[in-house]
Structure formats: C-alpha cells, structure tokens
Amino acid sequence: MSDETPICSAKGCRAPAVWVLAWNNPKIHTPERRKTWLACEEHREHLSQFLGVRGFLKDVVKFADYQDPEGP
Ligand SMILES: [Zn+2]
C-alpha cells in the first residue's frame, strides 16, 4: 500500500514535501510554463538557491496552498 504523501525532490531525500518551487527555464520553456519541484523544510533553501542563481525560480509556495494552474 502506497501513501499519497509527496516526497521532496532533493536527491536522496525521502522527507515529505512541504514546499512547491515553481520554475521556468526560458531556454526550453515558454514563459507561462511552470515546472515544479517539491521540497521539505530542510531542502527548500538549497533547491531555491539552485534555481535562483540560474534565474529560473518563479515562486515558492506552501504545498498545501499550491494549485497547479494547468489542473491536476
Ligand atoms: Zn528534502
């Protein structure tokens, strides 16, 4: 039986996701496109820095508050 708990996107991390990082790579995505990574409390800063230094990071929202603009 698998539970529905989403897991942090950081490599090797199995912690439940608390944050959603919405990002976009302008070289490969149209401007309105959003990719998402999930992050636990521990990895939110690390992952958002990774995206931030590349200029990809658009938004960081609580997982509970996140709504995919393209729907489920
Ligand atoms: Zn993590």
Q: Are 19 and 39 in contact (CB under 8 A)?
A: yes
Q: Are 8 and 36 in contact (CB under 8 A)?
A: no
Residues forming beta bridges with residue 61, ordered by sequence position: 20
71 alpha carbon – ligand 1 mean position (Å): 25
pTM of the predicted structure, to 2 decimals: 0.84
34 alpha carbon – ligand 1 mean position (Å): 20
14 alpha carbon – ligand 1 mean position (Å): 7
Joined together, the tokens standing for residue 20 give 């959603």
Per-residue pLDDT tens listing for the chain (72 residues): 455 789 999 999 999 999 999 999 999 999 999 999 999 999 999 999 999 999 999 999 999 998 776 655
8 alpha carbon – ligand 1 mean position (Å): 5
46 alpha carbon – ligand 1 mean position (Å): 9
